[in-house]
Amino acid sequence: MSNPAYSLRQLSYFVAVAEAGTLAGASATLHVSASALSLALDELERALDAQLTVRRRAHGIRLTPAGQETLRRARRLLREADELADAAGGDPGDVAGTVRVGCYTTLAPGLLPAAIGRFTADHPRARVEFVEGSQDLLVRGLLEGELDVAVLYDHRLDPALELTAVSANMPHLVLPRGHRQLRGAEPVALADLVDEPMVLLDLPPSSEHALGVCLAAGLSPRVRYRTANAETARALVGQGLGFTVLAQADPEAGRREEVVAVPIAEEPAPLPIVLAWSGQVAPTATARAFAAAVTSCGPTV
C-alpha cells in the first residue's frame, strides 16, 4: 500500500478554509498566514488531481462539486485520526476520541443529558460535542460530514441515511387550565376545537406532524401564532391564545400551572424517534458507543 500524497495538515487547512469561507477567516482561526493556507490548498489539489475550490479575490472561497465531496471525506479522516491518537494512549478496546452528535431541539432536554451521562461514565476518555437544531439542519450536518450521528423524528428523512429505532412520542393536546373541554385527564377531541385558534410549534417536522394530526381528526386549524420554541407555545396557550399539539414524551414538560396536557381522543399514531447517520460512511467506534448509550436510554426519551 502506497502512502497518500497529501497530509493531514493539508486536509485540516482545507476544512478550515471551507468552513470559514475565506482564507483570511481561516488564517485568523488557525493562526497561520493566508499565503501558507493557499499553498497548502494548491498542494492538496495537485495531490488529488482535482480542483477543490474556486478562489475569487474579495469574494471568498467556493467549493467545487469535487471539493464538497472531499470536504465530507476530509472531516471523516480527521475525526478518525483524532480517535486513533486518543485511543493509542489507552487499553486495547477502549473507546476514545470525540463524537459529534446532533439532536432535534425538542428531543434534546429529555434525551441528551442521560445519554451523555451514561456514555461518559462508560467511556471516560471519550468526548461529546453536540448541536441542537431543526431536522433539516441536522440532516445536512450528517450528509456533509459535520455530524457523526443524530437523534431525529422518523418523518420524511433523506433515504441516504441509515436509521435505528430508539422509541416513539405520543402527540398530545395542550389547553389553558379551565378550558371548557377539560374533564380532568380525559381525552379531548380535536374536532371539538373547530372554533378555536391554534398555536403552532413551527419547527419541522413537528409543524407538519401537528397539522397532519389535526387534519386526520377532521380539523382544519386556524393558526394564529407560530413559534420555534415549545415553551413559548405553552406560554401562549397559557394566556388563552389558542391550543397546541406537541409530541414530547413528557406531556407536563415545562410544568406551567396555567396549561394542561391531555390525550387526544382521535388517538393519533406515535411519532417514531430514530438514530441516524450517513449511509455513505460507516460510523466510528466512538459513534457506535454513543448510539448504544442513546438506545439504552430510549424508554426515557
Same domain, 157 and 196: no
Q: Which residues of 250-289 are buried (b: 16+ CB within 10 A; e: fewer)?
A: ebebbebeebbbbbbbbebeebebbbbbbeebebbbbbeb
Can you tell me the distance from the alpha carbon of 99 to that of 116, in angstroms, rounded to the nearest whole number?
Answer: 11
Cα separation values, 188 from 245, 249, 285, Å:
12, 18, 46
For residue 10, report the phi and psi dihedrals to the nearest 5 degrees: -60, -40
Can you tell me the distance from the alpha carbon of 64 to that of 180, in angstroms, rounded to the nearest whole number?
Answer: 59
Each residue of 136-173: pLDDT tens digit?
999 988 988 889 999 999 988 999 999 999 999 999 99
Can you tell me the distance from the alpha carbon of 206 to that of 218, in angstroms, rounded to the nearest whole number?
Answer: 19
Of 131 and 15, the structure prediction assigns the larger pLDDT to 131
Same domain, 282 and 240: no
pLDDT tier at 86, thresholds 50, 70, 90: low
- pTM, 2 dp: 0.70
Instruction: Please count the structural domains in the chain.
Output: 3
Residue 208 has pLDDT above 60, yes or no: yes
Same domain, 202 and 122: no
pLDDT tier at 3, thresholds 50, 70, 90: low
CATH number for 231: 3.40.190.10
Instruction: Say if 139 falls within a structural domain.
Output: yes
Instruction: Say if 103 falls within a structural domain.
Output: yes
Instruction: Say if 79 falls within a structural domain.
Output: no
Same domain, 158 and 294: yes
Domain that holds residue 245: 171-269
Instruction: Say if 150 falls within a structural domain.
Output: yes
Can you tell me the distance from the alpha carbon of 235 to that of 227, in angstroms, rounded to the nearest whole number?
Answer: 11
Can you tell me the distance from the alpha carbon of 231 to that of 152, in angstroms, rounded to the nearest whole number?
Answer: 19
Q: And the C-alpha cell for 166?
A: 430508539
